Amino acid sequence: MFGLQSGWEAWLVAFGLLFALLGVGALARRRHHRGWLDPADEHEVEELFAHVDEEADQAALLVRVTDDLERLIARRTPLRVVRAAPRSGLVRLGFADSTVLVASSLQPTELAALVLVVADHHVVPITYLADVDGVRVLLGWETGTASLVVLGPDQAD
């Protein structure tokens, strides 16, 4: 994953980036409150900080999703249920260890196939790929596979 040797290295890098971004934001905000910022630039700086906060949230989400997928793949944790999510085109993937992920598919036929086979087959995550388009997971069973885009974790019912 991203050229790192193990999961703990990915965590270390992600938390390092997160703390660096938060530290820069806190320092700049403190300078702002001391009057070091030109009032004309205040709006632009606030937008930049909002963007930094959003990037930090996305980095933390990526770490959580990839950590969940690494654990599910390593343990060959079976998919137990596929349910509709509140938004159209999304599903909730419920695994045997109570992990629930929200996902979508680029091809709706893959979701239909997955819904049909999950009750009768041993469906497990095989691998995942994290890139600029998001996190994609490949689920497999005896006679087929389905590739889904994981949007993030969800709560178990």
User: Do 67 and 83 fall into the same domain?
Assistant: no
The number of domains in the chain is 2
**Stretches in the chain below the pLDDT threshold 50:** 1-2, 4, 31-32
Which residue range is the domain that position 62 belongs to?
7-74
Q: Report if residue 2 sits inside a domain.
A: no
Q: Report if residue 1 sits inside a domain.
A: no
User: Do 11 and 56 fall into the same domain?
Assistant: yes
Spell out the long-range contacts of 87-91 with Cβ–Cβ below 8 A and sequence spacing 24 or more.
90/151, 91/115, 91/148
Which pTM was predicted?
0.65
Q: What pLDDT sits at residue 80?
A: 96
User: Do 69 and 82 fall into the same domain?
Assistant: no
Q: What pLDDT sits at residue 125?
A: 98
Q: What pLDDT sits at residue 1?
A: 42
Q: Report if residue 105 sits inside a domain.
A: yes
CA 96 to chain CA centroid, Å, is: 19
> Where do we find the tokens 């004309």?
40
User: Do 47 and 112 fall into the same domain?
Assistant: no
